[in-house]
Structure 1
Amino acid sequence: MQATHFENSLARLLIRTPFCATRALGTLCFVALLVLGTQLWGQVFERPSGLPAAEIDEIDNQAATHLENARRFLATSQWEEAIDSIRRAADTTPDRLVLQPASSQQPTGFQLYYPVRSEAANRIAQLADDAPAALVLFRKLVDPLAANWLAEYRAPGQPEPLERILHEAFASRNADDALLLLGDYWLERDEPALARAYWQRISPLLTITPQAAALTKIPQGSAWGLARTKVLADKYAEFFRQVTSEKPRALPGTYPDTDIPLAQVRARLVLASLIELDLPRAEFELAMLRALDPETRGTIGGKTGPLAEILAGFVSAANKWPRRDSNVIWPTFAGNYARNGAGTIPLLSLDEPRWRFPLPRQTSDREVIGSGRLRPADDMKSLRSYHPIIVESQVLVRVDARGSSLITSLDIQTGTRNWQNEERRQHEAGVPDSEPTTTPTDVSDTHANLIRHFGVARFTLTAHRGIVYSRMGSPITGASSRRVNRLLAADQASLWGYDLTADGKPVDGFPIRPESSLWSFEGTPVVSDEGLFVLMRRVDGGRSQLYVAAFAHGSSPPPADGNAADFRPTGTLRWRTRLASSATLGNGDIDELSHHLLSLDGHQLFVNSGQGLIAALDSRSGKLSWMHRYPRSTFRSADADQSDDVFFRDLTPCLVHDSMVICAPSDCDRIFALDRLSGRMLWALPASLCRDAMHLLGVQGDYLLASGDWLYWIDTRTGTLASQFPAGSPGTAGDAAANPRGLGRGLIIGSQVYFPTRDSIYLFSTSPTRGPLGMIPQPLGEIILSQRGFSGGNLVQAGNSLLLVTGEELICFPLPLSPPDTMK
């Protein structure tokens, strides 16, 4: 309502009721204050509202002085004093952060940080080029320790002693052996991507060199496999000899002077690609081995001879190897903890559904970011917020309805309810208690008691070893300052575990609740045999303190009084690592709802914070490996011509693919890729390009598939947009809307990508093809939904079942046990 319209209405009403003018005036002035206050509140964001950089724990003066002293001592050849100063810095504040020099791939505003302990290790490793005599002295000090740790590993075969060498004696003569053995350890555990990441750190010649980067435009330090399509096959040998003729200076985290024959490592890289069934990459790496090490002999798979010849036989036979079995589970959001899951049974059409299950429709009428604008790939009147999982014969879905949080288990063949668990959401004070129900209501009440709020509720689950885990209760993660101190434990979300083999019985040790009203859980945990890992937020006035926490399994005592509203079983905290303090859009004035998920691959945890940083941590110790701070976007809510699309990204955890971590933060207008072990920038899309991309679907071949209103093919070798559907030029304010427009999260199945819209699911190849004017999508078909009374939504596939999850129902379709002939 415009102010002039309101004033005219107020005057007319006062004229009609003169006998109550005084009382009416008081009442209406109060109403006017509410209405105009809302308008003034909106005007706060008419001008740009910039979010400042996240505040992190940078190196203190004492440690910085030690590092500066080391530089001076090296300049005057005082080797012993220089090494002592570097080690003192690491001992003083090992976990504080040191800013790294910007790389050529790093756009303005991006900043990479290493802990002081890692900075010290890298500086000592650089002595191989800068002061070899100093490195000799250092090795005399640490080589005996490293040798003992190496021997300790070879006895029980656990990786911790090897990791200790990397953390405490990286420049020792045994550190390259530790890298080789760690790669072998992870390959044996069917983690070829993580194995490759370790092997590539053995020498700067095992990744893209500066000469190769100049020729291919692929960043130095990237995997060689990315250069495959940049070089003609008949030029492979010439190319490899040219770009490896000189050993480059080692990048941080890369061993400087290995004595391991590189042919042994290159052979392992070929094996890793074969295990991944990436035959083009294996052939390219084999060509490198042939060009640089044609005569090196060894034993692989019981065969002894030239490594290149043995591996050539494996590559030739690999085309006949059986493919991996179809996935029978989809245990977490995006299919796995690396957030790059894919289906296995392609389809050209859909049969009649097996069953349909109603879901409570969720709206975002009072959500601030979406006020007056479309939500990319979503519907504000029927949000695509539900992301069910599949665990063998069960479909599990998490919803909010009737003042409760519910988890429902459905039989995947019949849709009948196996069991349902319900936890009250106490903050919904206006919703009366009701009897437990077997089906949700038509409309979700998760936002019912929120007047205005940033963000919307999303619903995810995680299953691990027969237990399903969820965040249950209030979706608020950043309560406003006027209410945060009044919250009881029952008013906040808690973590729960339910036994899938015992009709959803709560597991001992749950719930785990925040220790006070200032703390909250950001989303569903990721779970391994080591424990539960979750992002936590601590409200600090108008700022948000961000932590990653690890809890032991079965760690909370049973409540003394199950109805005690402020009982706080906090679990057994294994570790909790502080990341940063950040300003948020709510600024302590307005409730915030968020659902940030961690990613986990091997023992590495990855954090897309949505609060100014990406970080990697060791899941066993909680120690930070690296942190990359990015420039935060400016928020405008009143200017409809300025896009706030990136702020709608609320379920974009880091996507881990091979040696890269792909990031699409909710407060940054770029999609970018970082090296998983070093955090180095590999590439970044131009600002605002693909700003509507809400979902990172996965990587197939050379392309990242990302979707929002549009579907995008992004070249992971160079970080360029290769193609999109539909045609157009999204990326600047005022662009025409996509037509058709994406709706929900799509899915990669084999070499096809499935892009849902309101009326259809469009099928494309995961690789675009070259057209007259550049790369264009390869369409494979269209599954029309509207003619059958369906609409687009989130897609999930496991085994021979496909789930289509709209804002109002979950629909299960049967799939053939083998793909159609036309799709093979």
Structure 2
Amino acid sequence: MRSRPTLTSRSAGLVWVLSLLLLSASQSLGQAQDVFVRAEFSLTVELPETKNDTKNLLAQVDQQLQQEKWQDAIDTLERLISGHGSELIAQGNDQVDLGSQYVYYVELKTYLRRRISEYARQMPEFLEVYRSRIDSLAKQDLDAAMVTRDPAQLAAAIDNYFLSSHADQALLHLGDLLLEQGRFNEARTAWERISPRYRTPKDPQGVLLAMAGQPIWVAVDGVDWGQHRDYIEGLLNENQTSSSLATIPASDVDPAAVWARLCLASWLEGSSDRAAVELELLRQLHPAAQGYLAGREVNYAQRLTKLVASSPGEHALQQANSWPTFAGSYARTAQADLPERAKTYQPNWSVSLETQALSRPAGRNGLSEDDELQDIPLIAESSEALLSTFPAVIDGNVIVADEERVRAFHLESGLSAFPSAGNEVFERDELDFGAFHSSGRRIDFDFSMRGRRRRSPLSAMSFKLLSALGATRFTLASDDTKLVARIGTTAIGVPYVNSQFQDPADMVVFDMRKEGKLEARIPPVTELSGPWSFEGTAIIQGDRLYCGMIKSGVRDESAVACFDWTTSQMLWRRTVCLTQPYGSGLVADGEYGFRSHNLLTLKDGVLYYNTNHGVIAALEADRGEMLWLTRYPRRGLIPDKLEQAHSLVQRNVNPCIVTRGLVITMPLDCERLFALDAATGQLVWQTVPGGIDPLHLLGATKDDVLVGGEQLFWVHLHSGKIRAEFPNVDQMFRDRGYGRGALVGDQIYWPTREKIFRLNSKLDASGAVKEAALPVDLLRYGEEGGNVVVAQGQMIVASPSRLTVYSPSPVLEPQDAASTKDTDQ
């Protein structure tokens, strides 16, 4: 077998850099005693908030409105929106416990629309002047946008003429267009902006069951309509704003038409519980209302009653026969098809994976190697053998990646899907078997004589300058025939000397129809951009890539970016926040900082970004406009040494999951699982701080969020109540979680080190967890657990060192059959 060249232009300076590396190594050994001391990370989050000149203009608007100088106020508002509209401004907060708050931000232009909308309700004279100024032009532009049937163009026109007398009808039409495209969250938000009545109003008597500003269906779910109908109707008809959305001040759209559409969207989405509540609200308030629904003139309540009773309307929860990205979809909530006749599984084929371990400081405090290899306490994995690989399944191939290579195998046979790079032939147990792309550029140096890489010309020197904080993770993303991988080092904050040997990760696009042909390589850094890095694998949709990025420095700058991958041009990048870097005070100067693997979530044209740095943000995907931003309460990170810090930042592949109007997340710097309103970013519920310590958010059923770590938790989707756990505390000594599970039909495949449990995703009538089938005994085959994916009837398990594909078997092993018989008796 011919060895592939490993040196490229990045290592052209090898001779002179080598001496610097040796000097750096000796210096870092001498500094070790000063580096690994108690380090407390700052909880400060800096945001691109309004500046002083903006605040002065806001004060000027207030004064002009109070003096009834309507034209002057309108002129000042236009200056604010055009010159400062993208700045962020706080619009409220929720105090959830002593000294802990969720704070909500929106762009200034959104804040101004809401504020002026409220003012226009109180001072109709202002609204009359404003509309006389814009209505004729607004009608022309809105009508033209509606003719195009392009939601993005219509949404932009609505934003430009939001306070016009024609905007409410345009919003109704926009919601209809979005509904046709299956973009349910966006459709609901468009209709809710027509009037504040579609969000929970202020309730002085405490009849409603939700806080002001939350979706109205939550507030009326379970109310006694017979006793409180007139009171609720009166609250809604007052039309006083409690919505955190900017709503039309005086809409003449029939409320029944909106309630009917909200119910229809819930039914189509598969949210049968929400549809039933909205249908009852429609029956109570507008039982005789008629209008057009799905192209027919009908009695709204009667037509929807038949629809809701006829079928569950499961439109969005289609089960996946492939697994194209982390969590199976860009909403991060996919469910796989349940394999037929899968009484058990048996190994079909297996290949080797490169074992990953946590970085450790070399020669720290003069300790021996044995002292340095003490175990780092992690949840559901081992520090010496990380569960770093998250496979994807696309068009009959299972695909995995690491920092150097991308590999593809036929799912049924395990053979190489494509010719290897350079047409070399590799044995099945070699790490390059199945590799259709390899960077061939990485060189590591390891003081501890561990982790050396094959074919490195300097491996005999064996020293390593990579004490990064956090575990390596390898994810992939696909859309149709294109595959995206992040190739290069996943460490953030690469010093110049080390960058000669450690490639900052590029975003690489392949065409899977052409045997993995390289289509584009997009670097995070240009000569003008500064030290930017990609945080995780990008979402690919059409010719666009969406990704989280971070710029290293005294303050780390977190951002979301959009690229045209066909030209490698960045279309926009939006800064989200600045925070102190993880690893400050824990990693020596001249070494790396930390690893980041943040993944975006895409749902109905909106990008959701868990920064893991104190902020959750929602951005409009087409233009990068900030829809909302929420600061959550951060936990203090006060590790005594690098080993402890590793465990604090272990939960580093944790994108938001978006389902049924909720954004659910548990950032690594927060002790709570919490849910935000997808339209506004406002808190809906949270778990008790420290109540659960998960590693993975597996997805959601219509009832629960499934949260995995050493145990599996069922958390109620609409309340945050922890309803069940598996195994119970008494069983944990033998059945601890080990890796990421998957939702498969109506089951959960949940891995431990020795077994794959198959559990019912729905709790029984008593609220207990029931096994759907016997566990798959991995130990019998000499295999172990890991990250689980199910696609095309096969179960794929990525352990620390092996990728194993298990095929369903209709025949139980004798001991399994005996266990089944005993259970039946």
For normalisation by structure 2, the TM-score amounts to: 0.82
Deviations 1:535-564 (A, max 9, x none): 122222x32122222111321xxxxxxxxx
Deviations 1:93-115 (A, max 9, x none): 22111122224669824322212
Relative to structure 1, the CA distance from residue 652 to residue 325 in structure 2 (aligned partners, 3 Å threshold; closer, same or farther) is closer
Question: In structure 1, how many angstroms separate the alpha carbons of the residues matched to 2:42 and 2:734?
Answer: 32
2:55 equivalent to 1:55: no
- Cα drift, residue 496 of structure 1: 0.9
Question: In structure 1, how many angstroms separate the alpha carbons of the residues matched to 2:314 and 2:608?
Answer: 33
- Cα drift, residue 499 of structure 1: 1.3
Q: Structure 2 matches for 1:582-731, cutoff 5 A?
A: 582-587=579-584, 589=589, 590-591=591-592, 592-638=594-640, 647-690=649-692, 692-728=693-729
2:506 equivalent to 1:500: no
1:424 to 432, 437, 440: 440
1:746 to 741, 745, 757: 741
Question: In structure 2, how many angstroms separate the alpha carbons of the residues matched to 1:62 and 1:723?
Answer: 53
- Cα drift, residue 158 of structure 1: 1.0
Aligned to 1:74: 65
SS at match of 1:532: strand
SS at match of 1:101: strand
Are 1:646 and 1:668, in contact at CA under 8 Å, matched by a contact in 2?
Answer: no
Aligned to 2:556: 544
Deviations 1:550-608 (A, max 9, x none): 111321xxxxxxxxxxxxxxx21111222222111223845111111111123211111
Question: In structure 2, how many angstroms separate the alpha carbons of the residues matched to 1:642 and 1:109?
Answer: 27
SS at match of 2:193: helix
Deviations 1:484-511 (A, max 9, x none): 366359722111111111111111x434
2:152 equivalent to 1:153: no
Relative to structure 1, the CA distance from residue 412 to residue 627 in structure 2 (aligned partners, 3 Å threshold; closer, same or farther) is same
Q: Structure 2 matches for 1:118-267, cutoff 5 A?
A: 118-211=110-203, 214-215=206-207, 217-226=209-218, 231=222, 235=224, 242-247=231-236, 248-255=240-247, 256-267=249-260
Q: Structure 2 matches for 1:66-465, cutoff 5 A?
A: 66-103=57-94, 108-211=100-203, 214-215=206-207, 217-226=209-218, 231=222, 235=224, 242-247=231-236, 248-255=240-247, 256-301=249-294, 303-318=296-311, 326-345=319-338, 349-364=343-358, 366=360, 372-400=375-403, 405-419=404-418, 420-428=436-444, 434=455, 449-465=464-480
Relative to structure 1, the CA distance from residue 346 to residue 132 in structure 2 (aligned partners, 3 Å threshold; closer, same or farther) is farther
1:760 to 742, 755, 758: 755
Relative to structure 1, the CA distance from residue 320 to residue 623 in structure 2 (aligned partners, 3 Å threshold; closer, same or farther) is closer
SS at match of 2:750: strand
Aligned to 1:518: 531
Question: In structure 2, how many angstroms separate the alpha carbons of the residues matched to 1:350 and 1:239?
Answer: 54
Question: In structure 2, how many angstroms separate the alpha carbons of the residues matched to 1:421 and 1:370?
Answer: 33
Letter in structure 2 aligned against 1:719 = G
Relative to structure 1, the CA distance from residue 421 to residue 321 in structure 2 (aligned partners, 3 Å threshold; closer, same or farther) is closer
Are 1:209 and 1:244, in contact at CA under 8 Å, matched by a contact in 2?
Answer: no
Number of equivalenced pairs: 741
Deviations 1:277-316 (A, max 9, x none): 3334333322222111111112434653312112222223
Q: Which runs of 5+ in 1 are unaligned?
A: 1-29, 436-443, 556-570, 730-735
With 303-312 and 601-610 compared, the bigger mean Cα shift is at: 303-312
Are 1:110 and 1:631, in contact at CA under 8 Å, matched by a contact in 2?
Answer: yes
Are 2:201 and 2:241, in contact at CA under 8 Å, matched by a contact in 1?
Answer: no
Question: In structure 2, how many angstroms separate the alpha carbons of the residues matched to 1:260 and 1:737?
Answer: 57
Deviations 1:432-459 (A, max 9, x none): 7749xxxxxxxx99x9834422012110
- Cα drift, residue 319 of structure 1: 5.5
With 344-353 and 286-295 compared, the bigger mean Cα shift is at: 344-353
- Cα drift, residue 224 of structure 1: 4.5
SS at match of 1:194: helix
Letter in structure 1 aligned against 2:721 = T
Question: In structure 2, how many angstroms separate the alpha carbons of the residues matched to 1:577 and 1:86?
Answer: 23
Deviations 1:136-183 (A, max 9, x none): 222222323332221122222112332223433323223322322222
Question: In structure 1, how many angstroms separate the alpha carbons of the residues matched to 2:139 and 2:231?
Answer: 36
2:38 to 33, 41, 44: 44
Relative to structure 1, the CA distance from residue 675 to residue 149 in structure 2 (aligned partners, 3 Å threshold; closer, same or farther) is farther
Aligned to 1:529: 542
Question: In structure 2, how many angstroms separate the alpha carbons of the residues matched to 1:262 and 1:367?
Answer: 64
Question: In structure 2, how many angstroms separate the alpha carbons of the residues matched to 1:88 and 1:302?
Answer: 42
Are 1:113 and 1:628, in contact at CA under 8 Å, matched by a contact in 2?
Answer: yes
SS at match of 1:454: coil
Are 1:152 and 1:161, in contact at CA under 8 Å, matched by a contact in 2?
Answer: no
Are 2:92 and 2:105, in contact at CA under 8 Å, matched by a contact in 1?
Answer: no
SS at match of 2:572: strand
- Cα drift, residue 761 of structure 1: 2.8
SS at match of 1:102: strand
Are 1:709 and 1:741, in contact at CA under 8 Å, matched by a contact in 2?
Answer: yes
Question: In structure 2, how many angstroms separate the alpha carbons of the residues matched to 1:709 and 1:490?
Answer: 34
Question: In structure 1, how many angstroms separate the alpha carbons of the residues matched to 2:305 and 2:463?
Answer: 63
Relative to structure 1, the CA distance from residue 223 to residue 342 in structure 2 (aligned partners, 3 Å threshold; closer, same or farther) is farther
SS at match of 1:100: strand
Are 1:328 and 1:391, in contact at CA under 8 Å, matched by a contact in 2?
Answer: no
Are 1:165 and 1:178, in contact at CA under 8 Å, matched by a contact in 2?
Answer: no
Letter in structure 1 aligned against 2:490 = P
- Cα drift, residue 720 of structure 1: 3.1
- Cα drift, residue 613 of structure 1: 1.4
Question: In structure 1, how many angstroms separate the alpha carbons of the residues matched to 2:244 and 2:137?
Answer: 22
With 592-601 and 366-375 compared, the bigger mean Cα shift is at: 366-375
Are 2:213 and 2:242, in contact at CA under 8 Å, matched by a contact in 1?
Answer: no
Letter in structure 2 aligned against 1:667 = D
Are 2:268 and 2:316, in contact at CA under 8 Å, matched by a contact in 1?
Answer: no
Question: In structure 2, how many angstroms separate the alpha carbons of the residues matched to 1:602 and 1:501?
Answer: 27
Question: In structure 1, how many angstroms separate the alpha carbons of the residues matched to 2:63 and 2:794?
Answer: 65
- Cα drift, residue 737 of structure 1: 7.3
Relative to structure 1, the CA distance from residue 296 to residue 338 in structure 2 (aligned partners, 3 Å threshold; closer, same or farther) is same
Question: In structure 1, how many angstroms separate the alpha carbons of the residues matched to 2:193 and 2:343?
Answer: 46
SS at match of 1:259: coil
Aligned to 2:823: none
Aligned to 2:789: 796
Are 2:465 and 2:498, in contact at CA under 8 Å, matched by a contact in 1?
Answer: no
Are 1:661 and 1:674, in contact at CA under 8 Å, matched by a contact in 2?
Answer: yes
Relative to structure 1, the CA distance from residue 638 to residue 284 in structure 2 (aligned partners, 3 Å threshold; closer, same or farther) is same
2:489 to 459, 462, 474: 474
Question: In structure 2, how many angstroms separate the alpha carbons of the residues matched to 1:267 and 1:713?
Answer: 32
Deviations 1:675-694 (A, max 9, x none): 2232222222232222x212
Are 2:533 and 2:550, in contact at CA under 8 Å, matched by a contact in 1?
Answer: yes
- Cα drift, residue 524 of structure 1: 0.8
Letter in structure 1 aligned against 2:479 = H
Identity over aligned pairs, percent: 26
Are 1:279 and 1:318, in contact at CA under 8 Å, matched by a contact in 2?
Answer: no
- Cα drift, residue 644 of structure 1: 7.8
